[in-house]
Amino acid sequence: MGCSIAVELCRAEYHVLVLDKGPAAGAGSTSSSSAIVRFNYSTLDAVMTAWESKHLWQHWDELVGNTDESGLARFHETGALILGSEGDERTARLVELFDRACVPYEHLDGDELARRYAALDAHRYGPPRALDDERFWNDASGRLEAYLTPEAGFVDDPQLAAHNLMVAARERGARFSFGQEVTAVLRGNGRVGGVGLKDGSKLSSRVVVNAAGPFSAKVNSLAGVLSDSAVLKTRALRQEVHVLPGPEAFGLGSGGTVVMDADLGTYFRPHLGGTILVGGLEPECDPLVWVDDPDDFDPNPSIETWEAQTYRLARRLPDLGVPAHPRGLAALYDVTADWLPVYDRTSLEGFFVAVGTSGNQFKNAPMVGRFLSALIVAWDNGQDHDREPVRLMCEFTGNEVNLGHYSRLRSPADSTHSVLG
């Protein structure tokens, strides 16, 4: 997020310095992302944002240039299946949003789903159960249907994508300083004045953007803006993603696709080297693991979560081989009260936020840079975003996103309650 914002602010002719507590661009939560590019969100502006972002990923070389000696991240268009049951209200709402945003999709009934994706068991087993629940092993109770969005997919190297953006920002004049921990947000006369660092130094700036991921709540606290609204009180959520050898019939380029399986409570996708990534959809049977201190959490996968996710996946992919030991990782994602991000100004003049982004917003990183740039330019021109929300026209899709949708002052949205991908 920070690298994307830096690129767009440089394009708007701002002088940009990016401070990162970590050792490199994208070395935190970004490097652990499943990097899924999908369009199924519960609000129209969110769907339009993801749909436009997909086109920016497709034009990645034009967006970042070809100056990164490390190479460029690549978007793989595998399509995405949204599994569901007939008559599901949430799915009906989603299809309506697809129509309004002009996102292509196709409905697959149970027979067509089984025909096209023979590696999948298309039966209904849900709702999701804990592994120690005897009902986990119940027989199927019918067939699933699905909606296919053929232009969805994933980015193969999320940390490389962040590096690409960093190089692009540097080419446009941005400076980056790693290993720098912000310990104070300077202020005076109701305006931001810069930041203070752990080494005691102070940096002056009339604009500060908080894009600190799981540490965003700490930075917002330093700025004294937590009282602005409930959605600025973000929390760090521990999540696990596991890697397994995938069935040959579900490999990249041989029938594998992104799958969002609410019936069993998982999502999964093919990856390079014949493997599959699998994560959870936060079903009610799985306790959420909130972390108070982002500097103190276990980054290793747990046996309990590994078993739950892989056994659920094995029901959907009967030919899956499940290794005896976990292979994967855990990371922290930055979550708001309604699980939707905040891209906005704050009550502290000049202090902007791009928070609540981790997990379900990686795909939108190219647009987030444009959002924050548009907000800051509008603020500089005297526009009161709280009263007159900034609107951004999408370059490729022609949709118009109302950035008021991401306001800190919004009423908590009825979201999908998932940081999927």
User: pLDDT tens digit string along 11-70?
Assistant: 999 999 999 999 999 999 999 999 999 999 989 999 999 999 999 999 999 999 989 999
Q: Return the C-alpha torsion angle 163, 328, 219, 363, nearest 10.
A: 50
Q: How far is CA 21 from CA 26, 27, 30, 69, 109, in A?
A: 11, 10, 14, 24, 49
Pairing assessment for the beta strands 175-178 and 80-84 based on DSSP bridges: unpaired
* Nearest alpha carbon to residue 240 among 203, 197, 277: 277
The whole-angstrom separation of Cα 129 and Cα 286 is 8
* Nearest alpha carbon to residue 225 among 332, 339, 350, 337: 350
- The first and second tokens of residue 250, run together, are 């579900």
Contact 33, 214 (CB under 8 A): no
Average pLDDT over residues 65-94: 89
Q: Is the pLDDT reported for residue 416 higher than 60? A: no
Contact 124, 4 (CB under 8 A): no
Distant-in-sequence, close-in-space partners of 91: CB < 8 Å, separation ≥ 6: 82, 84, 147
Q: Where are the domains of the chain?
A: 2-74+156-234+338-406, 76-154+236-335
Beta bridge partners of 148: 81, 106
The whole-angstrom separation of Cα 237 and Cα 225 is 21
Q: Is the pLDDT reported for residue 419 higher than 70? A: no
- DSSP annotation of 43 reads S
The whole-angstrom separation of Cα 369 and Cα 181 is 22
Average pLDDT over residues 278-285: 94
pLDDT tens digit string along 301-355? Answer: 999 999 999 999 999 999 998 887 889 999 999 999 889 999 999 999 999 999 9
pLDDT class of 418 with cuts at 50, 70, 90: very low
Q: Is omega for the bond preceding 412 within 30 degrees of 0, making it cis?
A: no
> How many CB atoms sit inside 10 A of residue 375's CB?
24
Q: Which CATH architecture has domain 2-74+156-234+338-406?
A: 3-Layer(bba) Sandwich (3.50)
Contact 64, 72 (CB under 8 A): yes
pTM for the full model? 0.95
On the CB side of 103, CA atoms within 13 Å amount to 34
Share of the chain above pLDDT 70, in %: 97
Q: How far is CA 277 from CA 213, 245, 309, 311, 386, in A?
A: 22, 9, 10, 13, 40
- Give backbone dihedrals phi and psi of 402, rounded to 5 degrees, phi first: -90, 110
pLDDT tens digit string along 93-146? Answer: 999 999 999 999 999 999 999 999 999 999 999 999 999 999 999 999 999 999
Report pLDDT for 84.
86
Average pLDDT over residues 285-292: 95
Report pLDDT for 417.
45
Report pLDDT for 89.
78
Report pLDDT for 322.
81
Average pLDDT over residues 394-402: 98
Report pLDDT for 414.
52
Q: Which CATH architecture has domain 76-154+236-335?
A: 2-Layer Sandwich (3.30)
Average pLDDT over residues 287-314: 94
Report pLDDT for 413.
61
Contact 45, 405 (CB under 8 A): yes
